Amino acid sequence: EDQVTQSPEALRLQEGESSSLNCSYTVSGLRGLFWYRQDPGKGPEFLFTLYSAGEEKEKERLKATLTKKESFLHITAPKPEDSATYLCAFGGVTGGGNKLTFGTGTQLKVEL
C-alpha cells in the first residue's frame, strides 16, 4: 500500500539551530515528491518538487533532498518566520489524475 510518514510530529528549535525533517514514503512508482508549507489558518503553499533519487532543491534556508525511500527538508539557521507546519506528499504513477497523498506534517516552532 502506498503511504507516507513524516517525523517528527513537532520540532522546537532555537533561532540559528539547523535541523532536518523526514518524510518516508512507500509507493509502487514515484511521479514526484512534493514539499509544502502551511501557516495557521491558511492553505498549504508549494515549496519544492523532487523527481528522482539524488535530486536536491534549495530555497533560502530550505533544502530538500530525495532518496529512494525518504526525503529530507533541511533547515539551515532557521528564523522565527520559518515557524509553520511542513507537509510532504507524493504523486504515484498509478491511478491517474495527478493525485497527491499527503503526510500528516511536522509542526516547526523556531524561537528567539
- Residues engaged in binding other proteins (CB under 8 A): 32, 34, 36, 41-46, 49, 51, 87, 89, 96-105
* Nearer to other proteins among residue 48 and residue 78 (C-beta): 48
As measured in angstroms, the least distance from the Cβ of 99 to other proteins is 6
d(CA 75, CA 19): 6
Q: Closest approach of Cβ 26 to other proteins, in Å?
A: 15
Nearer to other proteins, 18 or 59 (CB): 59
Q: How far is the CB of 15 from other proteins (least distance, A)?
A: 28
Is 29 in contact with 51 (CB distance < 8 Å)? no
51-87 burial string, b = 16+ CB within 10 Å, else e?
eeeeeeeeeeebbbbbeeeebbbebeebeeebbbbbb
